[in-house]
Structures are given as structure tokens and as C-alpha cells.
Structure 1
Amino acid sequence: MPYRAPVSDYKYIFDHVVGLDRVAETDLFAEASADVTDAILTEAARLADEVLAPLQRNGDLHPAKLENGVVRTSPGFAEGYAAIAEGGWVGMSADPEHGGMGLPQALTTAVNEMMSGACLSLQLNPLMTQGQIEALEHHASAELKALYLPRMTSGAWCGTMNLTEPQAGSDVGALRTKAVPNGDGTYAISGQKIYISWGDNDFTENVCHLVLARLPDGVPGTKGISLFMVPKRIPTEDGEPGTANSLRVVSLEHKMGLHGSPTSVMEYDRATGWLVGEEHGGMKAMFTMMNNARLGVGVQGIGVAEAACQHALAYAAERKQGKTPVEGGAGTIVDHADVRRMLMTMKAQTFAARAIALDCAVSIDLARATGAADQAARAALLTPIAKAFGTDTGIEVSSIGVQVHGGMGYIEETGAAQFSRDVRVTAIYEGTNGIQAMDLVARKMMDGGAAAMALLNEVDATAQAAGGASGAALAAAAGMLRETTEWLVSQGDLNDRFAGAVPYLRAFALVLGGHYHLRAAAAEGDGGSGRRAALAGFFIRRMLPEHVGLCAAVREGAGGLYDMSLEDLTA
């Protein structure tokens, strides 16, 4: 199905909305000049458009299969992955010491989005590896780094994360996988893990599993968990993949979507593993990978939203149905008011989600390059918003895309339904969106709301600069969100915070969306008559007002949630 990476949108957001130039001004990222950024985005777009997008349908129609213990991937996926690896895209932000490009996370985020829009099933593979690279860079021993990082950065080997077990989903502390010292510096890992994205493939030399397990002296709960590197094939002294480790893919999950991505049930039977980080410090190390993946998953949702938007617009521009009410219009359904409403909603929300994600990535880069505590706090605050709102946007926009297609949207041959089926899981993995929201109102508010208020100060400045009705509307929305944030921080009972966490996160995302839209419109310079001003006006007038009801729901706390008993609910 046709897809074109929105390179011009990335450039515009970088230049006029989130300030990527600040990143390039640091010593660490001095090579990320405007020319380099343009070249990277252009070349990655060519890969996404010409190599990956044609594989999208293959993954759905010809799913990955497990045959005689071997995973067989979808047609063309091996060649697509080879193109990703050979282009150096896996290690874009990895340390140059191990073969990486050392580029800003902001650029990697944009490239990950365009690859997700082209073929989400395949893009999941390098995303997992990127997260593992970061975890190893921060927590692995020098020996493990020297062995694994060059091979993972090149894409010769790929990585996974193994957290979930049948009885331990979001409650990771309930895991039962065991790690027993072998006496030679290695450990025997035994247990079963489920929902392992890209647990195996037939196109990389080795698959490197980061596995959470408990040592014999590990206390119950998350504080007793350690992290281990458990490769599919045990490396030889010269770093070649050697004998098979004692692990296997038990089965592949039968999923709603993402059929090209083999989601595996993994079994470890005294498999040889190496400790990553400190004993009983596994969650700290794994969270490094998970935080990387949360932003990555957020842009997966945005990538699918972009693809679904393009797909719907192409259909609406050609489909003739009924008498069109617009004189001199296209003569197709794109002229109908409700179809136009849907298309503009898709485009406006996708832009807002994209700007949130790229702003988050810029803050990550600035924090890393400068050590600035305020940028680190800003990045931490934006991460759950980027993940949750990005994936919600993918779900909502792809669903609207089906509606734009009408009855044909429900017919698989059009491809509209695949976007909806593929993206649905992104709101679940790497911490459900409810968990992201709970993190936002609890852990991210441990500073008394200081980081949130600082961000709202930026929104206020944008509103004041914009002026007029749009600026006033954004200022009022930011004021209401500020009052709601103060109310949240004042609640001693965390359950009152958690009850309104999801509407709070969405309200915050909508206010930020208005902020980014007005910044984009201001930079357009067409006297308020350009396309970005039109889209900003649509967002401010028709989408931002949702924040009123959301903030009201937040301030209800947990009241009323438990007024019905379980018997009442099942009556």
C-alpha cells in the first residue's frame, strides 16, 4: 500500500517547533548539522517508501511461522531487515566506539516513526535492539559491551526483552524464572517468558535475550530481580555465534494484528546467561531499555496514524458518493463536511502527537549532552505522555480511517483495517497506557508538580505570543490544567490520583498539542492564512475543548468508582 514518509513535517517541527538546533549546538551532537539532518531524513525516507512499505501487506497475509522449531519470517522481511542493518539505521544513536553513528535521539525518533508507518511488523525488530543497546551501554560489563555492542549495532545480531510470564504481566515482581550461579561467572537460567516480540528470526546470526530472573538469594518482589544476557547461540572466543543455548521458542502467539512480527513463548532450561548490571538490580537496568522503548512505541503509533491518514485521504480524494455540497470542489467524498472533519481530525491529532514525541526526544538529547537537570525532568515528564498519546492517536486515527472508507474499510483488501489491527497492541505493551498515566500523576509528580508547571509556563508564553482568540483559548486551557495539576499534587491518597490519571494525561497532551500547533502556525508567516494556521485553528476550536471535561473527570478522584459492588457490575 502507498506510503510517503512526511519528511517535510519532521523538518518543520525540528526547525520551528521543538528547536533541534539547540541539540546541534552542543559538543556531543555538533555533527548533527542541518545538512546532516536533511540527508539522514531523506535517505531514511527512501528506505521506508521504497523498501519497507511494499512489505506491509506481506506480513499480514503471510505471517511468521514456527516450523520444526525454526521461525520462518514473512516474504521479503529478510531483505528488508538487511537494508535496515546495512544502512546503519539500527545503531543511529549508538556509541561510535562500538560502530554507532552517535546521532541525536530526536533523529532516531523521526526515522523510527517513518519505518513504523511503512511496515510496523518489521520495524519492531530494530526497535527492540536499540533499546537493548542502550541498556548494555549503561549497565553491562566492559567484556559484555565489547562482545555484544558492535554486533548489535551493526544489526548482525538482534535483541529482545524478556519480562512477562503467564502469572506476571505488569506485576513483574511476581516472576518465577530462576538464575543459578554455575561457578564460572555464568548462570543457569530456567523459566518461561511470554509475549516476546521477535523472539526469533531466520535472518540474523544471533538473537540476544535480556532476561529478568531471580537469584537464589533474591528477595520477593522487584527488588530481588536480576538481569541476564542469554543468547540464542553462545559466542565463541572470537565472537562468532557458537553452539545452541538451552532455550527454544515454544510457540508463536495468534494475534489480532502484527502478523509479520513473531511474538514468542520462550522456554529457558538451564540456559547459559551472563549478569548485566548488579545482582538484584535488574529492574534498574531493564527500565533503561523500557524507557527507550516507550518513546519508540509512542512513535510506532504515530507512524501508523500517518499511514492511515495518507490512506484515507487518498481514498476520499477518489471516491464519489452522493451529491457534493462544495461548488468547485473535488466532486468526491472529501467535499462532505463530516468526511472533511474526520480527515482534519486525523491530520491535526497526528501532528500534535508527533510534536510531543520529537520534543521529548530533544529533551533527552539536551539532558544527555549538557547534564541539565531541568531537561532530564522535562524528558521524564514527556515520556509517558508521548507513549500513551502517541499510541492512542494511532488507534483513534486508524479507526477513523476505517470510517472514512465506509464499508470498504471493513474489507481487508483495502488495507485500512490492517492499520487498526496492527496498532492496537501498542497501547498495551511497554506498560499499558493506564500505567503510563499512573506514572505521570505519581512518580513524575514527586517534585510537587514543578516539571509540569515549567512546561505549562512554556505553553503560557506561546499563548501570549499568539494572541487573539486562539491564544486566549490556549491560555485558558493551560490555566485549567494548572489548577488540575495543583489539585492532583494535593491529594494524599494515590488512588484519587490514579482514578483520574488517564483523563489527566490526555488533557495534558491536548494542551501541548495546542501549544505546538500555535508555534507551527506562528512560524508560517502567512498572516494567519496558511495551511498550518488552518490546522491549528481546527485543533484549538474543535479538539482542545475536550480538556474541560477531562479535567472535570480528573477532579472527581476515586469517588463513585466503587459505589457498585462486583455483584452490581455483573448483574
Structure 2
Amino acid sequence: MSKILSRRDLDFLLYEWLGVEALTARERFAEHSRETFDAFLDLSEQIAERDFAPHNRRNDIEEPTFDGVRVQVIPEVAAALKVFTESGLLAATLDVGHGGYQLPHVVARACFLWFQAANIGTSSYPMLTMANAGLLLAHGTEEQVATFVRPMLEGRFTGTMCLSEPQAGSSLSDTLTRAVPAGDGTYKVSGSKMWISGGDHELSETIVHLVLARVAGAPAGVKGLSLFVVPKHLVEPDGTVGERNGVTLAGLNHKMGYRGTTNAVLSFDEATGYLVGEQGRGLAYMFHMMNEARIGVGAGAVALGYTGYLHALAYSRERVQGRPVAGKDPAAPPVPIVQHPDVRRMLLASKAYVEGGLALVLYAAKLLDEPSPEHDLLLDVLTPIVKAWPSQWCRLADDHAVQIHGGYGYTREYPVEQFYRDNRLNSIHEGTDGIQALDLLGRKVTMRDGAGLALLLDRIRATARQAPDDLGGPVLAACDRLARTTATLWRDGNPTVALANATAYLDAAGHLVVAWMWLAQRNAAGDRAGAFYDGKRLAARYFITHELPRTGPLLDLLDSRDTLMADLDDRCLG
């Protein structure tokens, strides 16, 4: 069995639960079948095992360096990206007219999870490039698509998103980067951008930066932001890469994880930029890429947690140590540590987190394949949960993996310590957990008079009613409780009171949503025999009886409308 991902679990989720074969009845996917879906999954597993996983450790130890002229990256990264591009996976979901295969998003997401689990550092480059290309296909001009998107899909160019600045961080309303019309339809972009993943390297002919900047005279705040394509090099009319644009690498950041992905401080000095869409709508356009990246980050957290769990499970069956608590004979042979109750506790919890998180990520992806106003609304509500819940709880699976390995888990002799470090970053990528909490409680559950939350709870209740009463009942009660708490928080419309404990709300809502995912899997497993289905039923019962009760104290805190965090005097902190 692979230690990267479980193909058996993916098949169950895709075919036995989500029924993705039915998507082939839609015109967009009519050329596909179970056979083509399996072929893409097989290819992804093969490339991930052969071309991505082997250099994951080297990517971490020999992280990118900057010699003052060029960024140096280990050669295996470029080789793996070349194979990935040639496989067709880079453009798999796109229209045939753009060189794609019109593969359903849910299948493509399952495919890409193999690469994220095998090597999160290398897989970040195509993840960002695909999201960049998707934004330009949705909002760019035909010329911008021809100039920048096609070379990205061919693997010649890579893409980034440039939002944060040194002085502003996540506070995009304080963006200082400016854009001045050059008089020829282009703009001169100047400023500094920070924490830019994939921001500089020699892995492609050039890098297509999507940059938020403020045109002179634009209003303050996010409504004054516009979006620009600012390539590292100018691109000639014939598609060849020309002279260097005014984009300079000021330095590389060296993080605790994702070390194989360059992370740059970029300086823009009157760099030529091309306006995307209309002035003042930059952040709205950027959210097209940001939302895709947020789901991608959640998927990456699941992938890292999943591979950590599989490594821990294999180790626990191989590592012999100690005897059962009832064993009295010191001469009796020691047993595999998987037989110890506390190890089983960590393994079962990890299984519940990573398989529940995987179901959530794939469910969200499938909503994209069946577009409707209802599904768009549901995805809006789910996105902050898809991003933040795995970033916290699938990281805990990696924490457990380190612990199960004992002292070895804290050394580089085993890969689980890297999985943990890599996964720790996902709580800050594409908006911190706190930002996702504010988005969920401050916007998503209140928009359209709460229609999104009502839709989500209706979906959860429908699944719970199909489950055994002892499992469905607690979930139905949690739905009612979350609805009441949301109304209590917003009863006087005071955002300071409502949002004082937004992270507690995100935790409670996230656990309820994942309980829903487990009920859905439990329902799909039914009474079928076999260890795999027994495992699904066991994990569902565990999550409902051991994890869902965590929401009670969180909702109690929220119901009290406590404002300690909003009111405290920071001088009391020392």
C-alpha cells in the first residue's frame, strides 16, 4: 500500500459516495468515463511516486538559495515539473479549446492530491500557475490569454499572486504599490511585495505576476485596488521572452516548511504592467485565484496529514515495543505498538481527521462541476472551512505521526517531522485561520439574510436523517444549536460582540461540517462487509462520539457573547 495516499479511499469517495461517473451525463464531460478518470488517477500516482516523492527530502534540506544574480533550485524540481506538464495535468480541467481535457474538477483535485502529498514544495509551482491561468481566462483579454496563459499551460511560464506588502501583511486596504498610466495602454507599477511563493526562480522562461496596485487618484481601501499582469520579463509580440522587466528579487524568505518553494520579497520599479479588467475591481478579480488557492491550501493540508497518517500506521505495525497492559510475563515477546491503546487513539483520531478532510475537499470540488446558484452559495460558505479546518486538524494528524514514531519522529531519519513542518504553514497561507473565521462569521453566514448557512444546515440535516439515529441525532442537534448561536451573536448587529470569538465559531462549524462528511461516508458504506467499510463505520462513530462534542463548550462561549478578547488591555499581557 502506498504511503503517499490511499487509492482505495479515493475510489470510495469518488465512485461509491460522490458518484462522479454520473458527471459524464453532462455535456462538458461527455467524452469521459470511469476508464478515463482512472487513467488520470493512475498517471498521477505513478508520476507522484516516481518523479515527486524521491526528491521531497532533498527539497527540504537543500532549499533554494540566491547568489545575488540567480535563484538556485535543485535540478529534480525542473525535471518533475516537465513531466507534470507533459502529462496534460496542468490544463486538465480547461476547455479543449485551451488545450485542456475538460476533466471534472473533483477528479482533477483527487489527482493533484497525489502531488501535494508526495512533495508539497514542488507541487506548489503548478498549483499557483493553474490558479493564475484560471483568473486570466475568466477576467483577462484575449491578448492577455494568448500572451501569458497559453505559455503557462505549455509549461514555459509559471505564475504567482502578489498581494501582501511588508508594511501591510494581510491588510490589503493598506496596499501602497502604485500604478501610473504610461500613455500607451500599459502602466508603470512600483512598490514592494512580500511572501510571494514561487516569486523568483529559473524553472521557467519567465514568471507571470498578478499584482494588486493602486492607480493614482483611486480611493483609499480595497475599493481602490486594481489588478495588473506584471511579467518578470517583457514578452514580445511573437511570444518570445524579451528583456527583463522592472521586477527585482530583493531576497528570499526561509520558512520552517515548504522549503522547496521559493518565497520572495519582490521590488517593482516602474515595471510594465497590464490592467486586468476594470480599474477598482482588482480584489474581486483576485478572489477568483485566492478562493481556488484557499481550497488548494486546504487540500495540501489534507494531503500532508494523510501521508503522515499512512507513515505512522505502517510504522506502528512494524515497530515492536512493550507488552499489553494486562501482560505480566516480562519474558513474553514485545508486541507491535499498534496494539497499545494510546497509539490506537492517535491513529483513529488521525484517520478521522484526514479521511474527513479529504471528503470535504472533494465535496467542494464537485460543487464546481455542477454549477448552480445554490451550489455557488454553498461553496461560498464552505470555502473558509475547507481552507482552515484541515490546516488545523490534519496538521494534528502529523503531530500524532511524530508522536507515534517516538524519539525517531523528532529526527530527520523519518519524514514525519518534515510533514509536520510543511503542514504548519497552511494555517497562514492564503489568509490565516483567524481571517477565515472572520470571513465565515462576518460575511458568509450572514450574506443574503443567512441563506448560505440555512442551505448548509439543510444539506447536513438531510444526510443526518438518513443515518442511524444514534449518529444522526447528535448532528441534527448540533445543527439546531449552531443556527441558534449564529442568531444570538448577531441579534443586535454589533460586529465587535459578534466577532470577538470568531475562531471558536469556525472551530465549531468546521467540526459540524466534518461530522456531516462522516455521516455521508457512513451512509455510503452501508452494511457492506470488509475491513475497509468497517473502518469507515468506526471512524464515523468516533468522530460523532469523540470529536463532535468539542463543539458544545465552543458554542457555550459564543452564546455568552463574551468580549474578553476584544476588551482586554494589552498592557496586561506583559
TM interval, short-chain normalised? over 0.9
Q: Which residue of 2 aligns with 1:497?
A: 498
User: Do structure 1's residue 126 and structure 2's residue 130 form an aligned pair?
Assistant: no
Q: 2:563 aligns with which of 556, 559, 562?
A: 559
Q: For residue 435 of structure 1, report the CA deviation from its aligned partner.
A: 0.9
**What are the Cα deviations for residues 403-426 of structure 1, in whole angstroms up to 9, with x where unaligned?**
111221111221221111111111
Contact 1:192 1:265 in 2 (8 A): yes
Q: Which residue of 2 is the match for residue 334 of structure 1?
A: 338
Where do 5+ consecutive residues of structure 1 fail to align? none
Q: How does 1:254-273 map to 2 (within 5 A)?
A: 254-273=254-273
- Structure 1 residue 313 displacement after superposition: 1.2
Would the aligned equivalents of 1:63 and 1:260 in 2 still touch at CA under 8 Å? yes
Alignment-derived partner of residue 219 in structure 1: 219
Q: Residue 271 of structure 1 aligns to a residue in which SS? A: strand
Counterpart amino acid of 1:503?
Answer: A
Q: Which residue pairs with 1:383 in the alignment?
A: 383
Kept in 1, the 8 Å contact 2:162–2:193? The answer is yes
CA contact (8 A) 2:357 2:394 kept: no
| More off after superposition, 326-335 vs 509-518 | 326-335
Q: Once the two structures are superposed, what CA deviation does each residue of 1:12-46 show, in whole Å capped at 9, x if it has no partner?
A: 11223334345433222333432222221121111
Residues 66 and 477 of structure 1, relative CA distance in 2, 3 Å threshold: same
With over 3 angstroms needed to count, the CA separation of the structure-2 counterparts of 1:489 and 1:305, relative to structure 1, is same
Q: Give the corresponding residue for 1:287.
A: 287
**Match in the other structure for 2:164:** 164
Question: 1:15/1:93 Cα in 2 relative to 1: closer, same or farther (>3 Å)?
Answer: same
Q: Provide the residue aligned with 1:450 in structure 2.
A: 451
SS of corresponding position for 1:28: helix
Partner in structure 1 of residue 468 of structure 2: 467
The corresponding residue for 2:550 is: 546
CA change 1:332–1:120 in 2 (3 A) is: same
> What code does the residue aligned with 2:508 have?
A
Query: In the superposition, relative to structure 1, how do residues 231 and 363 fare at CA in structure 2: closer, same or farther (>3 Å)?
Result: same
- Which amino acid letter does the alignment assign opposite residue 174 of structure 1? D
534, 538, 550: which is aligned to 2:538? Answer: 534
- Counterpart CA distance in 2 for 1:527 and 1:184 is 67
- The one of 355, 365, 371 equivalent to 2:369 is 365
Gaps of at least 5 residues in structure 2 are: none
Equivalent in the alignment of 1:421: 421
For 1:355 and 1:202, locate their aligned partners in 2 and report how far apart those are by CA, in whole Å.
36
Deviations 1:225-265 (A, max 9, x none): 11111111111121011111121211110211211111001
Note the C-alpha offset of 1:316.
Answer: 1.3
Corresponding position of 2:517: 516
**What is the Cα deviation at residue 558 of structure 1?**
4.1
Counterparts of 2:29 and 2:99, CA distance in 1: 16
Hey, what does 2:70 align to over in structure 1? 70
- How many aligned positions are there? 566
**Alpha-carbon contact 1:448-1:489 (below 8 Å) kept:** no
Q: Which amino acid aligns with 1:446?
A: M
Structure 1 segment 290-439 matched on structure 2, within 5 A: 290-325=290-325, 331-367=335-371, 372-439=372-439
In structure 2, distance between residues paired with 1:63 and 1:505: 34
**Partners of 1:10 and 1:381 in 2: CA distance:** 24
* Percent identity for Structure 1 against Structure 2: 35
Q: Residue 499 of structure 1: CA displacement?
A: 2.1
In structure 2, how many angstroms separate the alpha carbons of the residues matched to 1:217 and 1:326?
A: 77
1:175 counterpart = 2:179: no
Q: Write out per-residue CA displacement over residues 354-392 of structure 1, whole angstroms, 9 at most, x where no aligned residue.
A: 11111111112212xxxx211110111111110011211
Retained in 2: the 8 A contact 1:360–1:379? yes
Question: Shift of residue 81 of structure 1?
Answer: 1.0
Superposed displacement of residue 563, structure 1: 5.1
**Could you tell me whether the CA contact under 8 Å between 2:323 and 2:333 is conserved in 1?**
no
Q: Distance in 2 between matches of 1:326 and 1:482?
A: 47
Whether the aligned pair in 2 keeps the contact of 1:360 and 1:382 (CA below 8 Å) is yes
Corresponding letter in the other structure for 2:115: M
Name the counterpart of 1:40.
40
TM-score by structure 1 length?
Answer: 0.95
Measure, in 2, the Cα distance between the counterparts of 1:378 and 1:563.
34
**More moved, 205-214 vs 68-77:** 68-77
With over 3 angstroms needed to count, the CA separation of the structure-2 counterparts of 1:457 and 1:21, relative to structure 1, is: farther
Q: Displacement of 1:513 after TM fit?
A: 1.9
Contact between 2:227 and 2:283, CA under 8 Å: does it hold in 1?
yes
Segment drifting more, 286-295 vs 486-495: 486-495
Q: Look up the SS of the partner of 1:448 in the other structure.
A: helix
Indicate conservation of the 8 Å contact 1:189/1:269, yes or no. yes
Residue 241 (str. 1) matches residue 241 (str. 2):
yes
The 1:547/1:19 distance shift into structure 2, 3 A limit, reads farther
CA distance in 2, matches of 1:16, 1:493: 45
Amino acid at match of 1:145: V
Gap change, CA 1:491 and 1:338, over 3 Å in 2: farther
Which amino acid in 2 is paired with 1:109? R
Q: For 1:466, what is the secondary structure of its paired residue? A: coil
2:177–2:213 CA contact under 8 A, matched in 1: yes
CA shift for structure 1 position 79: 0.8
The 2-side partners of 1:174 and 1:329 are apart by: 65
Matched AA of 1:24? T
SS in 1 for 2:90: coil
Matched residues in 2 for 1:93 and 1:142: separation? 19
Classify 1:277/1:114 alpha carbon distance in 2 versus 1 (closer, same or farther; 3 Å).
Answer: same
CA distance in 2, matches of 1:432, 1:324: 43
C-alpha separation in 2, matches of 1:431 and 1:24: 35
1:506 alignment partner in structure 2: 507
Contact between 1:98 and 1:149, CA under 8 Å: does it hold in 2? Answer: no
- Name the amino acid aligned to 2:133: I
Change (3 A) 1:379 1:125: same
Distance 1:70 1:404, change over 3 A: same
- Residue 474 of structure 1 aligns with an amino acid whose one-letter code is V
Partner of 1:150: 150
Which of 522-531 and 458-467 deviates more? 522-531
Q: SS in structure 1 opposite 2:91?
A: coil
- Distance (Å, rounded) in 1 between the aligned partners of 2:319 and 2:30: 48
Shift of 1:564: 3.5
The alpha-carbon deviation at position 527 of structure 1 amounts to 6.0
**SS at the partner of 1:191?**
strand
Higher alpha-carbon deviation: 296-305 or 105-114: 105-114
CA–CA distance in structure 2, aligned partners of residues 321 and 354 of structure 1: 32
Return the offset for 1:317: 1.4
Q: Are 1:478 and 1:511, in contact at CA under 8 Å, matched by a contact in 2?
A: yes
Deviation at 1:160, TM superposition (A): 0.4
Say which is worse superposed, 412-421 or 512-521, in terms of deviation.
512-521
The one-letter amino acid of 2:219's match is V
